[in-house]
C-alpha cells in the first residue's frame, strides 16, 4: 500500500521533536559518516538530556522554534539521510503521518499548497 504522506512536501515537523533519542549504534553511524571518533561525534552532535545518554542537539528554526541540528532549514530536509538515526528511519511507524494529514487539511482549507502549519509539541 502506498504511503499516505509525502515528506518532500512537508516542512519537517517530526525533525522538530524536542527529544530525538539516539542509541550508541546511531552515534557510531554518525561518527563513521563524518569520519570522526565516537567521542568527537557524541560531543558535537549529542547531549545528555531527559534522562537519556544521547539526545540529538538542535538548532534554531523559524517555523518550529527549534529543530534537529542536521536539518537544512532552507531546503527543509535531512542533510544526513543515509546516516540518520533509527528513530528517524522508523518514523512514523505506519502508513499515515498525523502531522501530514493535518497539513493537507490546512492547505486545502487555506487554498495554499505551500502553507506551513505550526503546532506545538506537547
| List of E strands, the chain | 46-49, 52-56, 58-61, 65-68, 71-72, 77-78
List the one residue from 1, 41, 55, 92 that touches ligand SF4 (CB under 6 A): 92
In contact, 68 and 21? CB cutoff 8 Å:
no
Stretch that binds ligand SF4, among 34-42, 45-53, 92-100, 112-120 (CB under 6 A): 92-100
| Phi (first) and psi of residue 66, to 5 degrees | -140, 155
Stretch that binds ligand SF4, among 21-29, 41-49, 94-102, 113-121 (CB under 6 A): 94-102
**Among 91, 69, 90, 86, which Cα is nearest to 78's?**
69
Site membership for ligand SF4, residue 21 (CB under 6 A)? no
Cis before 52 (ω within 30): no
Grid cell at residue 38: 565516537
Stretch that binds ligand SF4, among 32-40, 41-49, 90-98, 106-114 (CB under 6 A): 90-98
Site membership for ligand SF4, residue 27 (CB under 6 A)? no
Site membership for ligand SF4, residue 29 (CB under 6 A)? no
Which residues in this chain contact ligand SF4 in the complex, by CB under 6 A?
A: 5, 7, 10, 12-15, 20, 68, 70-71, 78, 80, 84-85, 88, 91-92, 97, 99-100
Amino acid at each position: 500500500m502506498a504511503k499516505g504522506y509525502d515528506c518532500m512536501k512537508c516542512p519537517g515537523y517530526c525533525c522538530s521533536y524536542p527529544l530525538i533519542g539516539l542509541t550508541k549504534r546511531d552515534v557510531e553511524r554518525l561518527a563513521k559518516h563524518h569520519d570522526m571518533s565516537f567521542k568527537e561525534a557524541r560531543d558535537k552532535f549529542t547531549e545528555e538530556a531527559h534522562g537519556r545518554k544521547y539526545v540529538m542537539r538542535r538548532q534554531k528554526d523559524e517555523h518550529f522554534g527549534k529543530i534537529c541540528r542536521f536539518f537544512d532549514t532552507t531546503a527543509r530536509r535531512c542533510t544526513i539521510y543515509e546516516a540518520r538515526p533509527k528513530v528517524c528511519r522508523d518514523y512514523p511507524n505506519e502508513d499515515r503521518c498525523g502531522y501530514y494529514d493535518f497539513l493537507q487539511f490546512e492547505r486545502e482549507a487555506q487554498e495554499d499548497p505551500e502553507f506551513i502549519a505550526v503546532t506545538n509539541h506537547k
